[in-house]
Amino acid sequence: MAGSSRNTGSRIRARIARLATIGVIAALALIFTPGTASANTGVAPIVDCYRYNNDGTFWVVLGYTNPGSQKTYAYGTTNQVYPTRLQGQQPKQFAAGTVHGVWTVRLTYAEIFQQDARWVLNGTTLRYSQYVNYAQECPPSTVLPADGNGTGTAVALGAAGVVGAAVLVRHKRRLNRLADSPPSPDAGA
């Protein structure tokens, strides 16, 4: 009788551990998914991630979503950035799909929070201040040149999946060993 209650306790702990692992994997997937500026049906800018620098500045890694075919937006009212010192660094060509790591901007605290630094693209305004406070921080593997490759997020998601799968396999093996082992002699005591 004591062995069956022990097995029941082990099963409950196993289920709790499994649920906790799944929760961690789901949370990581949510954290590493880039935020979208708005529900605009056209081309819209996105923040992939940000990095705080020791000198008080921020790197912001940007991309975009384009649910339609390739589009071109020349610099001007449909494609402009603030502060104006950044004008001309943003892309003009927008391929179909979601494209990560298209370009990065280095901004000061004052530019972000006091001067309303932003990217206006096709009627959608992306204010960096909204994302520096709430977006994910760039993983250390994220490349931050002007033409970022966008692989940091994909690598982080892949790593989270591999770690989660490994934890589940290990946990399942451990449960199988416990289920196959005979009860200890002092289990009835």
Over range 105-120, report the average pLDDT. 91
Parallel, antiparallel or unpaired: strands 97-108 and 71-72? unpaired
Per-residue pLDDT at 173: 80
Reply yes or no on whether the pLDDT at 11 is more than 90: no
Among 19-23, 36-40, 111-115, top mean pLDDT goes to: 111-115
Per-residue pLDDT at 146: 47
Per-residue pLDDT at 149: 39
Per residue in 120-148, pLDDT (tens digit) is: 999 999 998 887 777 788 887 776 654 33
Every domain of the chain and the residues it spans: 2-31+158-188, 35-138
Among 1-5, 50-54, 172-176, top mean pLDDT goes to: 50-54
Per-residue pLDDT at 41: 60
Over range 66-82, report the average pLDDT. 93
Q: Per residue in 91-109, is it b (16+ CB within 10 Å) or e — as a string?
A: beebeeebbbbbbbbebbe
Reply yes or no on whether the pLDDT at 44 is more than 50: yes
Per-residue pLDDT at 125: 92
In the chain, pLDDT over 90 holds for what percent of residues? Answer: 32
Helix, strand, coil in percent for the chain, rounding step 5: 40, 25, 30
Reply yes or no on whether the pLDDT at 154 is more than 80: no
Over range 172-178, report the average pLDDT. 77
Over range 141-156, report the average pLDDT. 50
Q: What is the pTM of this model?
A: 0.54
- Beta strand residue intervals within the chain, DSSP E: 35-36, 44-52, 57-66, 71-72, 79-82, 93-94, 97-108, 118-121, 124-127
Reply yes or no on whether the pLDDT at 185 is more than 70: no
